[in-house]
Protein backbone atom coordinates (compact mmCIF):
# COMPACT_ATOMS: atom_id res chain seq x y z
CA UNK A 1 0.00 0.00 0.00
CA UNK A 2 1.43 3.35 -0.97
CA UNK A 3 0.92 6.36 1.27
CA UNK A 4 -0.95 8.23 -1.46
CA UNK A 5 -3.76 5.68 -1.31
CA UNK A 6 -4.33 6.33 2.39
CA UNK A 7 -7.19 8.75 3.00
CA UNK A 8 -6.09 12.06 4.43
CA UNK A 9 -6.40 12.74 8.15
CA UNK A 10 -9.32 15.06 7.44
CA UNK A 11 -11.25 12.43 5.53
CA UNK A 12 -10.65 9.84 8.23
CA UNK A 13 -11.98 12.20 10.91
CA UNK A 14 -15.03 12.94 8.80
CA UNK A 15 -15.64 9.21 8.29
CA UNK A 16 -15.33 8.63 12.04
CA UNK A 17 -17.78 11.42 12.72
CA UNK A 18 -20.28 9.85 10.33
CA UNK A 19 -19.93 6.52 12.09
CA UNK A 20 -20.52 8.26 15.41
CA UNK A 21 -23.46 10.25 14.06
CA UNK A 22 -25.15 7.19 12.59
CA UNK A 23 -24.60 5.10 15.72
CA UNK A 24 -25.97 7.90 17.89
CA UNK A 25 -29.03 8.38 15.69
CA UNK A 26 -29.77 4.65 15.68
CA UNK A 27 -29.44 4.55 19.46
CA UNK A 28 -31.77 7.48 20.03
CA UNK A 29 -34.33 6.50 17.42
CA UNK A 30 -34.48 2.81 18.31
CA UNK A 31 -37.18 3.29 20.99
CA UNK A 32 -39.22 5.34 18.51
CA UNK A 33 -38.78 2.61 15.93
CA UNK A 34 -39.80 -0.02 18.48
CA UNK A 35 -42.98 1.89 19.34
CA UNK A 36 -44.01 2.37 15.71
CA UNK A 37 -43.11 -1.21 14.86
CA UNK A 38 -45.22 -2.69 17.66
CA UNK A 39 -48.23 -0.76 16.43
CA UNK A 40 -48.08 -2.77 13.17
CA UNK A 41 -47.64 -6.17 14.82
CA UNK A 42 -50.30 -8.79 15.41
CA UNK A 43 -50.86 -9.85 19.06
CA UNK A 44 -48.95 -13.09 18.39
CA UNK A 45 -45.96 -11.09 17.20
CA UNK A 46 -46.18 -8.59 20.08
CA UNK A 47 -46.17 -11.34 22.71
CA UNK A 48 -43.50 -13.43 21.01
CA UNK A 49 -40.49 -14.61 23.00
CA UNK A 50 -37.81 -13.66 22.08
CA UNK A 51 -39.06 -10.27 20.79
CA UNK A 52 -39.27 -9.89 17.01
CA UNK A 53 -37.52 -6.83 15.59
CA UNK A 54 -39.53 -6.70 12.39
CA UNK A 55 -43.25 -7.42 12.00
CA UNK A 56 -44.15 -10.19 9.55
CA UNK A 57 -46.29 -7.74 7.62
CA UNK A 58 -47.57 -4.21 8.06
CA UNK A 59 -51.13 -4.49 9.28
CA UNK A 60 -53.40 -1.96 10.92
CA UNK A 61 -55.60 -3.99 13.25
CA UNK A 62 -54.29 -2.13 16.31
CA UNK A 63 -55.43 1.14 14.75
CA UNK A 64 -58.67 -0.40 13.54
CA UNK A 65 -59.55 -1.34 17.13
CA UNK A 66 -59.01 2.24 18.29
CA UNK A 67 -61.38 3.49 15.60
CA UNK A 68 -63.95 0.74 16.17
CA UNK A 69 -64.07 1.31 19.95
CA UNK A 70 -64.23 5.06 19.44
CA UNK A 71 -61.02 5.61 21.41
CA UNK A 72 -59.71 7.97 18.71
CA UNK A 73 -62.15 10.52 20.09
CA UNK A 74 -59.31 11.24 22.53
CA UNK A 75 -57.15 12.40 19.62
CA UNK A 76 -60.00 14.60 18.35
CA UNK A 77 -60.43 16.04 21.86
CA UNK A 78 -56.72 16.77 22.05
CA UNK A 79 -56.88 18.50 18.67
CA UNK A 80 -59.83 20.67 19.72
CA UNK A 81 -58.39 21.58 23.11
CA UNK A 82 -54.79 22.16 22.05
CA UNK A 83 -55.82 23.89 18.81
CA UNK A 84 -58.36 26.28 20.29
CA UNK A 85 -56.27 27.17 23.33
CA UNK A 86 -53.26 27.85 21.10
CA UNK A 87 -55.20 30.21 18.87
CA UNK A 88 -56.64 32.11 21.83
CA UNK A 89 -53.29 32.26 23.62
CA UNK A 90 -51.55 33.47 20.48
CA UNK A 91 -54.04 36.29 19.83
CA UNK A 92 -54.27 37.54 23.41
CA UNK A 93 -50.59 36.91 24.12
CA UNK A 94 -49.34 38.73 21.03
CA UNK A 95 -51.46 41.80 21.78
CA UNK A 96 -50.18 41.81 25.35
CA UNK A 97 -46.61 41.35 24.11
CA UNK A 98 -47.01 44.31 21.75
CA UNK A 99 -48.06 46.51 24.63
CA UNK A 100 -45.12 45.33 26.75
CA UNK A 101 -42.61 45.73 23.94
CA UNK A 102 -43.74 49.07 22.53
CA UNK A 103 -45.29 50.96 25.43
CA UNK A 104 -43.39 49.29 28.24
CA UNK A 105 -46.72 48.80 30.01
CA UNK A 106 -46.20 47.82 33.64
CA UNK A 107 -42.43 48.10 33.28
CA UNK A 108 -39.92 45.30 33.83
CA UNK A 109 -41.80 44.06 36.89
CA UNK A 110 -44.90 43.07 34.96
CA UNK A 111 -42.80 41.24 32.37
CA UNK A 112 -40.95 39.39 35.13
CA UNK A 113 -44.20 38.49 36.88
CA UNK A 114 -45.56 37.07 33.64
CA UNK A 115 -42.54 34.87 33.00
CA UNK A 116 -42.48 33.78 36.65
CA UNK A 117 -45.97 32.40 36.08
CA UNK A 118 -44.40 29.82 33.86
CA UNK A 119 -41.99 28.71 36.58
CA UNK A 120 -44.80 27.69 38.95
CA UNK A 121 -45.00 23.89 38.97
CA UNK A 122 -48.35 22.63 37.63
CA UNK A 123 -48.71 20.32 40.62
CA UNK A 124 -48.86 23.37 42.91
CA UNK A 125 -51.80 24.98 41.13
CA UNK A 126 -53.67 21.97 39.77
CA UNK A 127 -55.30 21.15 43.09
CA UNK A 128 -56.82 24.59 43.83
CA UNK A 129 -57.82 24.86 40.18
CA UNK A 130 -59.55 21.51 40.51
CA UNK A 131 -61.50 22.70 43.57
CA UNK A 132 -62.56 25.87 41.78
CA UNK A 133 -63.54 23.92 38.67
CA UNK A 134 -65.64 21.56 40.77
CA UNK A 135 -67.36 24.56 42.32
CA UNK A 136 -68.19 26.08 38.91
CA UNK A 137 -68.99 22.74 37.26
CA UNK A 138 -66.15 23.10 34.76
CA UNK A 139 -64.51 19.71 35.32
CA UNK A 140 -64.56 17.57 32.19
CA UNK A 141 -65.65 20.44 29.96
CA UNK A 142 -63.97 21.72 26.82
CA UNK A 143 -64.25 25.27 28.09
CA UNK A 144 -62.46 24.46 31.34
CA UNK A 145 -59.54 22.68 29.72
CA UNK A 146 -59.17 25.27 26.95
CA UNK A 147 -59.17 28.09 29.50
CA UNK A 148 -56.53 26.31 31.54
CA UNK A 149 -54.20 25.63 28.61
CA UNK A 150 -54.66 29.18 27.39
CA UNK A 151 -53.56 30.49 30.77
CA UNK A 152 -50.77 27.96 30.94
CA UNK A 153 -49.41 29.02 27.53
CA UNK A 154 -49.94 32.77 27.79
CA UNK A 155 -46.66 33.53 29.63
CA UNK A 156 -44.76 31.59 26.98
CA UNK A 157 -46.47 33.36 24.08
CA UNK A 158 -46.05 36.78 25.69
CA UNK A 159 -42.39 36.19 26.46
CA UNK A 160 -41.55 34.85 22.99
CA UNK A 161 -43.58 37.39 21.02
CA UNK A 162 -42.16 40.25 23.08
CA UNK A 163 -38.74 39.12 21.88
CA UNK A 164 -39.83 38.98 18.24
CA UNK A 165 -41.65 42.34 18.37
CA UNK A 166 -38.68 44.10 19.98
CA UNK A 167 -36.67 42.98 16.93
CA UNK A 168 -38.99 44.90 14.58
CA UNK A 169 -37.38 48.31 13.86
CA UNK A 170 -39.28 51.08 15.62
CA UNK A 171 -38.73 53.44 12.63
CA UNK A 172 -40.96 51.29 10.42
CA UNK A 173 -43.86 51.74 12.79
CA UNK A 174 -43.19 55.44 13.30
CA UNK A 175 -43.15 56.18 9.58
CA UNK A 176 -46.38 54.22 9.17
CA UNK A 177 -47.95 56.32 11.92
CA UNK A 178 -46.76 59.49 10.18
CA UNK A 179 -48.37 58.16 6.99
CA UNK A 180 -51.70 58.29 8.79
CA UNK A 181 -52.21 54.71 9.90
CA UNK A 182 -53.67 54.20 13.35
CA UNK A 183 -52.18 51.78 15.87
CA UNK A 184 -54.44 48.87 14.94
CA UNK A 185 -53.46 49.25 11.31
CA UNK A 186 -49.80 49.48 12.27
CA UNK A 187 -50.06 46.26 14.27
CA UNK A 188 -51.92 44.47 11.52
CA UNK A 189 -50.11 45.81 8.42
CA UNK A 190 -46.58 46.51 9.65
CA UNK A 191 -45.78 44.43 12.73
CA UNK A 192 -47.75 41.29 11.94
CA UNK A 193 -46.07 40.56 8.58
CA UNK A 194 -42.64 41.11 10.18
CA UNK A 195 -43.20 38.73 13.09
CA UNK A 196 -45.21 36.13 11.16
CA UNK A 197 -42.44 33.49 11.10
CA UNK A 198 -41.87 33.85 14.83
CA UNK A 199 -45.60 33.81 15.39
CA UNK A 200 -45.95 30.55 13.45
CA UNK A 201 -43.15 28.95 15.43
CA UNK A 202 -44.59 30.11 18.74
CA UNK A 203 -48.00 28.73 17.75
CA UNK A 204 -46.49 25.34 17.01
CA UNK A 205 -44.74 25.15 20.37
CA UNK A 206 -47.85 26.37 22.18
CA UNK A 207 -49.78 23.60 20.49
CA UNK A 208 -47.15 21.02 21.40
CA UNK A 209 -47.13 22.01 25.09
CA UNK A 210 -50.91 21.71 25.32
CA UNK A 211 -50.91 18.51 23.27
CA UNK A 212 -48.30 16.82 25.48
CA UNK A 213 -49.76 17.81 28.83
CA UNK A 214 -50.76 14.95 31.07
CA UNK A 215 -51.20 16.22 34.64
CA UNK A 216 -53.87 18.86 34.02
CA UNK A 217 -55.80 16.56 31.72
CA UNK A 218 -55.58 13.71 34.22
CA UNK A 219 -57.09 15.84 36.96
CA UNK A 220 -59.62 17.85 34.99
CA UNK A 221 -61.12 15.30 32.60
CA UNK A 222 -63.37 12.33 33.27
CA UNK A 223 -65.07 10.93 30.17
CA UNK A 224 -66.22 13.75 27.89
CA UNK A 225 -63.01 15.57 26.99
CA UNK A 226 -60.44 12.90 27.73
CA UNK A 227 -57.23 13.75 25.88
CA UNK A 228 -54.89 11.26 24.29
CA UNK A 229 -52.21 11.02 27.06
CA UNK A 230 -54.92 10.20 29.61
CA UNK A 231 -56.54 7.70 27.26
CA UNK A 232 -53.14 6.09 26.82
CA UNK A 233 -52.73 5.43 30.54
CA UNK A 234 -56.08 3.61 30.56
CA UNK A 235 -54.44 0.81 28.61
CA UNK A 236 -51.99 0.13 31.42
CA UNK A 237 -53.55 -2.39 33.70
CA UNK A 238 -51.88 -4.65 36.23
CA UNK A 239 -51.16 -7.93 34.49
CA UNK A 240 -52.34 -7.29 30.97
CA UNK A 241 -51.12 -4.20 29.21
CA UNK A 242 -52.82 -3.75 25.85
CA UNK A 243 -49.59 -3.21 23.99
CA UNK A 244 -51.10 -2.99 20.55
CA UNK A 245 -53.42 -0.22 21.71
CA UNK A 246 -50.67 1.54 23.66
CA UNK A 247 -48.40 1.59 20.62
CA UNK A 248 -51.07 2.61 18.12
CA UNK A 249 -52.42 5.40 20.34
CA UNK A 250 -48.88 6.64 21.02
CA UNK A 251 -48.14 6.77 17.30
CA UNK A 252 -51.36 8.68 16.59
CA UNK A 253 -50.43 11.10 19.35
CA UNK A 254 -46.83 11.50 18.20
CA UNK A 255 -47.09 11.88 14.42
CA UNK A 256 -48.69 15.36 14.45
CA UNK A 257 -45.93 16.59 16.75
CA UNK A 258 -43.17 15.17 14.55
CA UNK A 259 -44.66 16.84 11.48
CA UNK A 260 -45.19 20.20 13.20
CA UNK A 261 -41.76 20.34 14.77
CA UNK A 262 -39.95 19.21 11.62
CA UNK A 263 -41.59 22.04 9.72
CA UNK A 264 -40.52 24.47 12.43
CA UNK A 265 -36.99 23.04 12.72
CA UNK A 266 -35.43 26.46 12.19
CA UNK A 267 -37.08 27.88 15.31
CA UNK A 268 -36.54 24.89 17.56
CA UNK A 269 -33.71 26.31 19.66
CA UNK A 270 -35.31 29.68 20.32
CA UNK A 271 -38.67 28.02 20.89
CA UNK A 272 -37.67 25.51 23.54
CA UNK A 273 -35.20 27.75 25.36
CA UNK A 274 -37.79 30.49 25.96
CA UNK A 275 -35.82 32.68 23.59
CA UNK A 276 -32.83 32.70 25.93
CA UNK A 277 -30.70 31.23 23.15
CA UNK A 278 -31.24 32.83 19.76
CA UNK A 279 -30.87 29.90 17.38
Positions 92 through 121 that interact with other proteins (CB under 8 A): 92-93, 95-96, 98-100, 102-103, 105-106, 114, 117, 119-121
Taking CB under 8 A as the criterion, the residue among 12, 25, 169, 224 binding other proteins is 25
Q: Give me the 62-91 binding string for other proteins, x by CB under 8 A, dash otherwise.
A: ------------------------------
User: Between 142-166 and 73-103, two packed helices, what is the crossing angle to 10 degrees?
Assistant: 40
Q: Are 211 and 81 in contact (CB under 8 A)?
A: no
Residue 143 engages other proteins in binding (rule: CB under 8 A) = no
Query: Least distance from C-beta 23 to other proteins, angstroms?
Result: 10
Residue 262 engages other proteins in binding (rule: CB under 8 A) = yes
Taking CB under 8 A as the criterion, the residue among 3, 128, 137, 237 binding other proteins is 128
Residue 208 engages other proteins in binding (rule: CB under 8 A) = yes
Contact range with other proteins by CB under 8 A, out of 56-64, 68-76, 128-136, 195-203: 128-136
- Of 270, 249, 255, residue with least CA distance to 39: 249
- Burial tier of 159 (Cβ tally within 10 Å: 0-12, 13-18, 19+): buried
Residue 127 engages other proteins in binding (rule: CB under 8 A) = yes
- Of 84, 88, 260, residue with least CA distance to 157: 88
Query: Least distance from C-beta 272 to other proteins, angstroms?
Result: 6
Cβ-proximal residues to 198 (8 Å cutoff; 6+ apart), any chain: 160, 161, 163, 164, 267
Length of the chain measured in residues: 279
Residue 257 engages other proteins in binding (rule: CB under 8 A) = yes
Distances in Å between the alpha carbon of 119 and those of 39, 112, 260, 267? Answer: 36, 11, 25, 22
Taking CB under 8 A as the criterion, the residue among 1, 2, 44, 50 binding other proteins is 50
Residue 170 engages other proteins in binding (rule: CB under 8 A) = no
Evaluate the CA torsion angle 248, 251, 253, 259 in order and state its sign: negative
Nearer to other proteins, 3 or 42 (CB): 42
Nearer to other proteins, 73 or 218 (CB): 218
User: How many of the other CB atoms lie within 10 Å of CB of 31?
Assistant: 9
Residues 209-248 contacting other proteins, CB under 8 A: 211-212, 214-215, 219, 228-229, 232-233, 236, 241, 243, 246-247
Amino acid sequence: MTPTLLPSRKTRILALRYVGAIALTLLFLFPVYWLFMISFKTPDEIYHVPPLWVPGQIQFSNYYVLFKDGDVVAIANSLIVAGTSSIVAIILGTLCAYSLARFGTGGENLAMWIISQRMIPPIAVVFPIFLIYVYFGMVDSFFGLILLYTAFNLPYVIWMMRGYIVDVPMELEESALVDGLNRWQVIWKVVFPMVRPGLMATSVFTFVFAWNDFLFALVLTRTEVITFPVQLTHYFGGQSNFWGKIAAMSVLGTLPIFVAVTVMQRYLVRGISLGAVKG
